Structure 1
C-alpha cells in the first residue's frame, strides 16, 4: 500500500470522475440531459473514495438514514454504490473503505449500517449479516384472490400525494424491524418512479388505509409495493388488481415481507413463490445501539449475562461485556471488569449478534448451529429476553 493513498470525501468538482467509475462498474450509460440533472443533486459529502495522487481508485456512498427498530427510528448508515476500477481490484481498497466508514459512522452516531450485497460472503467478512428476506409471487390471473364487493370505502387510482402515502406507510412499517424511515425526498427520488401507478383505498370516513404501487408491462401487472392496514383494505386492493384481468395474464408481487400469508388465502396456493435473502445489516456500536433497544420486561430484579463478542473490523465492539437489563427492558452494555471463560459466558460474533437483536434469527437457533456458544441455560435466558420480532425492507439503495 502506497503512502500516497488516502481516504477522503469527494469534492463537487469530482462528480464527473465519480459518474465515470459508476457507469463503468455497474454497466450503464446516463444520457447527457440526465447527467446534468444528477450533477445538480450531487451531494459530494456523501461520497467517499480511495485516492492516489488525486486519482480515484475506489468509492462508495454513505447515506444518512433511519431504520425502524421496535417502532422507533434508529440512526443508520446506508452503504451503496461500492465500485472499484478493474485494475485496482483485489488490492483491499473496498475493505479499507468499509473499515474507515465503520469508524466514521460510530463518530456520527449511526449505530447500525445496512447494504445490499453484490456478494454476501464478501460483506460477511467485514461484519455485515443478512437480516431480512422477501417473498416474490407470480400468480396467474385465474388464481387471483376472489374479487369482493366493497363493504364501504373506495379505491382511487394514481394518487401521488406523498404525505398521504407516507401516512399509510408510517402506520405499516414500524410493525417490522429494519424498514426504512422515509422522507419526501426519498419518496420522490427512490419510490415513486415515472412509470409507476398508485391505487389507494379510502375508508368510508375518507381515511387512507392501504395502497399499491404498480406497473403494467407485457401483459403483467407488476406490484412493487402492497401496503395495507386492515383486511378490508387488502381485499379492496386485490379486487382492484383483479379488475385488470382483461389486460394482463399474470400478477407479479415483489418485495413482500417474509411473514406474508397470501398463498394460504388463495383458492390454490400453488403459485410460483420465491424467498430471496435481501439486505444485510451490522451493529456499528454495540453499547450505543442498546440505548435504542428494549428487551422483554422482566421481574423486579436486574438481569445480567456476560458476552464475548468477536468483531475484527470494529475493535471497539470486540471483547467481553456485561449486559444488564432493567425490569422495564432497558439495557446497558459495559466492559467486563474481569476476563475469563466463566460459567455463564456466551460467545458470539457481530453478525449473529445483529441477526438476533433485529429478530431475523433466535438465540436457541444460533446455539443449535454453533453461531452462539456457551451454556444452554444462558442461551435460554437470552431467548426469553429478546422480543420476538419480524424483519422487512421494502426499499433499495
Structure 2
C-alpha cells in the first residue's frame, strides 16, 4: 500500500470512486468540466499497485480568527470503496494529511463530516452551527424606506468581496475568499444577486438568492450595518406578489431576526455544520490574538492528541500583558510525564473549540473536557476573547 498524490491521468479513477461513494451520477459534460479543473496535487490516495482504494482532497485555504488570517487545510471528498472499508485506510489518510498540513504551515483544519462521531476519533470537533428560517411572506420584516439603493444582478466580484470581507472578518472560522473561489464556488450556481449601496455609492450589503415555485431561497444575506440589513429585507418584501414564503439558510447562530419580527413564531432550525481541529498547537498559539489583560498569564497544560503526536505532551502557555502567546514544551527527558503536575489537562478537541470561541473554559471544565483548578480555568477563560463562529461556505 502506498499513500501519494494523484496524477492527472488518474482523474477517472478518482471521480468513479466519488460518484460511487457519494451516490452521484454526473453527465459527460459535467465530467469534462471537472476534469479541466482537476488539481491532482490536492488529492491524496491509498494505492495497491495501480488501484486507488481510498482518497481525500486537501484544500489550501485561509480563515479569519479574531480578524486575523490563518492558513487552514480543508478536508473534503473522503471516500473508500466498500470492500476496502474497515481496514484503517481513512485513518492512514487523515494521519498523513495532518503531517502535510503541519508541513505547509496550516495550523487549522476544517471538514464537513458525514458522521460527527467518526471524525471526533481523529481529533476534529464541532465548531459551528447555523440557523435556518422558513418565513411566510406576511411575516417578513416591516418595509423601511432606506437611504441608498438596492441594485439587482450585480456580479462584480470586487464589490461583493469587499462587503463579504467586512462581514466575515467579524466572525471566527469564516473563509477568506479569493477570485477563483467566487467564480468556481459561489457565482457558478446561477444565484440572483441584490447589492445595497449607500448614498455615497459604497456597497454595504448583498444577498445571493433564487426564486423557485413561489419560494425565495436565500443562501447568503451579508451586511455591514443595520441600514443595509433593512434595505435588503425591504427588497425581499417587495417580492410579495411573486412568492408565498422565504427560506433563509446559513444565518449565524447569534442572529436575532426572530426577536426583530412582529411575529417571531416562524419555522426555525439550528443545524450543526462543520468540524475544526488545531493541527499545530504551538504555531496556532504563536499567532493567536489573546485578550490583553495587562498582566502575564502562565499555565502548564497537559495536551492529548493521539493523531498529531507533535501536539502531545506537557506545555507551558505564556501570554504577555499585550496578549501575545507562546507555547513551549516542558522538558520531561529526566522525569516521568505522568507525575508532573499540570495546571490543566485537556485534549486537542477541547483546545480547538475553546480557542475558536465555540465553547467557554468554565463550561468545558464543568463537562469534564478540561480538568484543573477553578483558578486555572478562570485564568484561561480571561485570556480567550469571545467571538461568534460562523461559516457561509461548503467544501
TM-score range, shorter chain: over 0.9
**1:344–1:378 Cα contact (<8 Å) kept:** no
1:389 equivalent to 2:387? Answer yes
TM superposition shift of 1:195 = 2.4
Structure 2 residue corresponding to 1:329, chosen from 323, 326, 345: 323
Counterpart in the other structure of 2:377: 379
- For residues 294 and 338 of structure 2, the distance between their equivalents in structure 1, rounded to whole angstroms, comes to 29
Q: CA separation in 2, counterparts of 1:9 and 1:169?
A: 33
Q: For residues 278-357 of structure 1, what are the structure 2 equivalents within 5 Å?
A: 278-300=273-295, 302-338=296-332, 339=337, 345-357=343-355
Moved more, 336-345 or 250-259: 336-345
TM-score (norm 2): 0.97
Alpha-carbon distance, 1:114 to partner: 0.4
Residue 344 of structure 1 deviates from its aligned partner by: 5.4
Q: Tell me the alpha carbon deviations over residues 285-331 of structure 1, each in whole angstroms, 9 at most, x when there is no partner.
A: 0000112101111224x320001111000011011110011111011
Maintained 8 Å contact 1:158/1:197: yes
Q: Deviations over 1:68-97 (max 9, x none)?
A: 011111000000001111111111111110
Contact 2:196–2:203 under 8 Å retained in 1: yes
Q: Check whether the contact 1:343–1:375 (CA below 8 A) recurs between aligned residues.
A: no
Does the alignment pair 1:47 with 2:39?
no
Deviations 1:223-259 (A, max 9, x none): 0000011111100000000011111111111010111
Instruction: Tell me which residue corresponds to 1:106.
Output: 102
1:235 to 214, 230, 234: 230
Asked whether the equivalents of residues 297 and 379 of structure 2 are also in contact (C-alpha less than 8 Å), the reply is no
Which deviates more from structure 2 when the two are superposed, residues 339-348 or residues 235-244? Answer: 339-348
Alignment: residue pair count: 391
TM-superposed CA distance for 1:218, in Å, is 1.5
Q: Helix, strand or coil: the match of 1:51?
A: strand
SS in 1 for 2:155: coil
Deviations 1:34-63 (A, max 9, x none): 211211111100010000011000001000
SS in 2 for 1:180: coil
Question: What SS does the aligned partner of 1:179 have?
Answer: coil
**2-structure distance, mates of 1:57, 1:279:** 26
Q: Is the 8 A contact 2:54 2:81 kept in 1?
A: yes
Contact 1:295/1:386 (CA < 8 Å) preserved in 2? yes
User: Structure 2 matches for 1:241-252, cutoff 5 A?
Assistant: 241-252=236-247
Check whether the contact 2:78–2:90 (CA below 8 A) recurs between aligned residues.
yes
Residue 198 of structure 1 aligns to a residue whose secondary structure is strand
Q: How does 1:183-202 map to 2 (within 5 A)?
A: 183-202=178-197
C-alpha distance in 1 between matches for 2:325 and 2:131: 34
Task: Give the 5 Å matches for 1:215-226.
Answer: 215-226=210-221
1:211 and 2:206 correspond: yes
Structure 1 length normalisation: TM-score?
A: 0.97
1: distance between equivalents of 2:219 and 2:88?
A: 36
Q: CA deviation at 1:32?
A: 1.1
Preserved CA contact (<8 Å) 2:286 2:327: no
Q: Distance in 2 between matches of 1:365 and 1:104?
A: 33
Rounded to whole Å, the distance in 2 between the matches of 1:121 and 1:348 is 18
Consecutive unaligned residues of structure 2, counting only runs of 5 or more, are none
The equivalent of 1:155 in structure 2 is: 150
- Cα RMSD (Å) of the superposition? 1.0
Counting only pairs closer than 5 Å after superposition, residues 4-19 of structure 1 correspond to structure 2 as: 5-19=1-15
Q: Are 1:137 and 1:273, in contact at CA under 8 Å, matched by a contact in 2?
A: yes
- Equivalent of 2:62, from 45, 62, 66? 66
Alpha-carbon distance, 1:193 to partner:
3.1
Instruction: Report SS of the residue matched to 1:263.
Output: helix
Kept in 2: contact 1:59–1:83 (CA 8 A)? yes
2-side partners of 1:255 and 1:146: how far apart? 22
1:199·1:213 contact (CA, 8 Å) conserved in 2?
yes
Q: Which digits, 9 at most, give the CA deviation of each residue in 1:129-175, with x for residues without a partner?
A: 0001100001011100001122x200000000001000000111010
Structure 1 CA distance for aligned equivalents of residues 341 and 120 of structure 2: 29
